[in-house]
């Protein structure tokens, strides 16, 4: 039992101490929380499977019950998923890198993949966004608002957002998949979308990055540092990063929108970004993936396994994964940057990579 800490929850009957476990030890879906010992997971179970005395909480997937028990045999210890121009989305279990699902609903190339604790979602050139349950691979929703190919997809605990060639970003509530907002600031195709607990951000061919508040969908900032199209956007609790065909990555502090760093390692177009609590990573048409430490913006690693342009990058607490035009997805261990697996299911360009 890998318990890493506890958190206190205020209830009508008083404060309840809830154990927090290693994320890898808790079955999906999980509720992630920050502890003094790092990010962990509260073990939540469906209310229908809960005891009467178990605490109930509201989550993005509805009301769940908090369990103090660890799952002895979780279904997955972590997931890497990647989408390909071969029209498929591939899902692997990180415990042994086995292929656990090939998702084939897309009627065109898959340009973006996103993962949450419950779902895998992907956007297609066929203009649709597909959502599957991670537990069994079943298709739970097909979102059809867009009138053009999808280029950006993002998931949070509450929302899914997607945008593409019709210039708009659509946001749906995951509880019933209803459309809750259509964001129309972009004057050209949207190429990247990101979600945090507070904001949604997107950028594209008009060179700008737009940030809206999730509470009322108001536009709170337009970021204009990029001198060319914005190909990727990422959000954390503290920062937003974006960039594209001017070869740079721009990092702003969310507290005041100030530009805090411009990363210039890339020798060609920057395609994609990933943020964690410790690192920022981005992939480039120069075939490399660059990783910087958020504490001082220093370059800590340049990953060079890819033999062609990098199109997708993702970070988790343990791994970094990236893939691209050479059709492969490479997974490295963050502890020593060693290559631990090369995933070769795709028969065409890997356009997007996601990790949980």
pLDDT in tens, 218-250: 999 999 999 999 999 999 999 999 999 999 999
Residue 73 located in a structural domain: no
> Mean pLDDT for the chain?
89
pLDDT for 259 beyond 90: yes
Residue 291 located in a structural domain: yes
Domain that holds residue 114: 79-355
Q: Is 189 within 8 Å of 151 (Cβ atoms)?
A: yes
User: E strands along 49-98, which residues?
Assistant: 56-59, 62-67, 79-84, 89-93
Q: Do 24 and 142 fall within a single domain?
A: no
Strand partners, 234: 241
* Alpha carbon distance 114, 243 (integer Å): 19
Last residue of one domain, picked from the residues 13, 47, 67? 67
Q: Do 51 and 85 fall within a single domain?
A: no
Q: Do 238 and 301 fall within a single domain?
A: yes
Q: Do 241 and 308 fall within a single domain?
A: yes
Residue 72 located in a structural domain: no
Q: Do 55 and 85 fall within a single domain?
A: no
Residue 271's pLDDT band, with cuts at 50, 70 and 90, is: very high
At 177, which CATH number?
2.130.10.10
Q: Is 210 within 8 Å of 203 (Cβ atoms)?
A: yes
Q: What is the pLDDT of residue 73?
A: 38
Q: Do 187 and 312 fall within a single domain?
A: yes
pLDDT in tens, 51-73: 665 677 665 555 667 766 654 43
| Overall domain count for the chain | 2
Q: Do 228 and 118 fall within a single domain?
A: yes
Q: Do 175 and 53 fall within a single domain?
A: no
Residue 74 located in a structural domain: no
Residue 30's pLDDT band, with cuts at 50, 70 and 90, is: low
Q: How far apart are the first and last CA of the chain?
A: 20
How remote is the C-alpha of 295 from its chain's centroid?
21
Q: Do 268 and 336 fall within a single domain?
A: yes
pLDDT for 272 beyond 50: yes
**45 vs 125 pLDDT, higher one:** 125
Q: Do 222 and 289 fall within a single domain?
A: yes
pLDDT for 187 beyond 70: yes
Q: Do 275 and 339 fall within a single domain?
A: yes
């Amino acid at each position: 039992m890998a318990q890493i800490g506890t958190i206190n929850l205020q209830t009508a009957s008083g404060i309840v101490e809830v154990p927090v476990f290693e994320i890898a030890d808790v079955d999906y879906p999980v509720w992630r929380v920050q502890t003094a010992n790092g990010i962990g997971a509260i073990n939540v179970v469906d209310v229908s499977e809960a005891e009467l005395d178990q605490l109930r909480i509201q989550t993005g997937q509805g009301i769940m019950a908090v369990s103090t028990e660890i799952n002895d045999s979780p279904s997955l210890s972590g997931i890497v998923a990647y989408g390909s121009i071969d029209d498929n989305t591939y899902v692997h279990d990180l415990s042994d890198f086995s292929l656990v699902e090939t998702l084939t609903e897309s009627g065109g190339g898959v340009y973006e993949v996103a993962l949450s604790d419950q779902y895998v979602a992907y956007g297609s050139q066929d203009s649709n966004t597909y959502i599957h349950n991670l537990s069994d691979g079943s298709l739970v929703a097909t979102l059809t608002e867009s009138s053009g190919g999808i280029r950006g997809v993002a998931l949070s605990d509450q929302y899914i957002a997607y945008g593409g060639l019709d210039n708009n970003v659509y946001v749906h509530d995951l509880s019933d998949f209803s459309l809750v907002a259509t964001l129309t600031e972009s004057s050209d195709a949207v190429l990247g979308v990101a979600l945090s607990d507070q904001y949604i951000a997107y950028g594209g061919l008009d060179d700008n990055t737009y940030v809206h508040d999730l509470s009322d969908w108001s536009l709170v900032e337009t970021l204009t540092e990029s001198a060319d199209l914005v190909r990727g956007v990422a959000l954390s609790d503290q920062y937003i990063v974006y960039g594209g065909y001017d070869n740079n990555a721009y990092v702003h502090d969310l507290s005041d929108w100030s530009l805090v760093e411009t990363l210039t390692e890339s020798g060609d177009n920057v395609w994609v970004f990933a943020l964690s609590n410790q690192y920022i990573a981005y992939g480039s048409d120069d075939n490399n993936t660059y990783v910087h430490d958020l504490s001082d913006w220093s370059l800590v690693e340049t990953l060079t396994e890819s033999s062609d342009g990098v199109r997708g990058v993702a970070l988790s607490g343990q791994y970094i994964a990236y893939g691209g035009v050479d059709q492969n997805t490479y997974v490295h261990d963050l502890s020593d940057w060693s290559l631990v697996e090369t995933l070769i299911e795709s028969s065409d360009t890997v356009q997007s990579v996601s990790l949980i």
